Structure 1
């Protein structure tokens, strides 16, 4: 998975040692699912993850600490200065801020936005209003499935309103617990028909 061509080419045309051009796109290697010391199952600092990613050929990385009630209160704001510092220290690596979304009625997903002045604001509101853990919406019910779609529509609206230049969602390990149904994945993909937000998954 690569960032959108506009986001990538503006910054990484000369910066990406591993990038290659094909069919008008600059293909870049990256990782969209990275935890740090701000997650209960992570221990490394943001700068450590970015340094190691760059060292091993990653052109872009997404910092995605676990969403939760605590993370919704402080996590997005707390990690942002570390992300800004890593961006300054490793200018040739695209570092995106995101979070690991507890998808209502389903498993986890990476959500991230284009870097900019509203990245914290949009991610914080998204997590507060649409995270399954925060909203107590983990059960597989039609209402919770609809909340997940509403979250993706919210992200599309933020792009349409130019709060952020772009936003993406990728489902994480959807087969791990067997709770992500094919109709849900199709629903995520079909949400926000005017702007594709859910673009894939890791397996």
Structure 2
């Protein structure tokens, strides 16, 4: 006996995907603005213009929402493509310039996601795990860049691991946030300063 497969409307699937994307976008904005602990599912629903039950049906609980936001951020980071470009460069100055530009674009583009996770750290039971997940590929990319710098002339005067630590200090999310958010620098000014500081130390 043949079984009939349920018909799935492409338009309905598209509408559901758009609703889910909107919920995640609004949730990330609220988490970044108010802090994860101060946002309810009802708040997210209101911001997205849907019912609370739609949020649960489409994405899940508040914890599920943050988990998806992190996942989206990892996918959107583009670290692999950026690192292919960095590894093709043959001078330390060019590498550091590319790192300054690339991490600036990444941090500026992922700012809301980073803030959402950062503000969840004190209250989310898996906050540290989410932050590690969100930044693991980022940190690995800078370690790869450090190893590449040591194949060029002149190589940094620091060991590879210390070079990686310094790249994370300058070009990791905390460095960007310190200058742009906490001190009110423009992204352009921060990019120029971090590039020059890294070059003065490593080149």
Calculate the TM-score normalised by the size of structure 1. Answer: 0.28
| Bigger relative contact order, structure 1 or 2 (CA pairs below 8 A, ≥6 apart) | 2
Task: Report which of the two structures shows the higher radius of gyration computed on alpha carbons.
Answer: 2
Calculate the TM-score normalised by the size of structure 2. Answer: 0.28
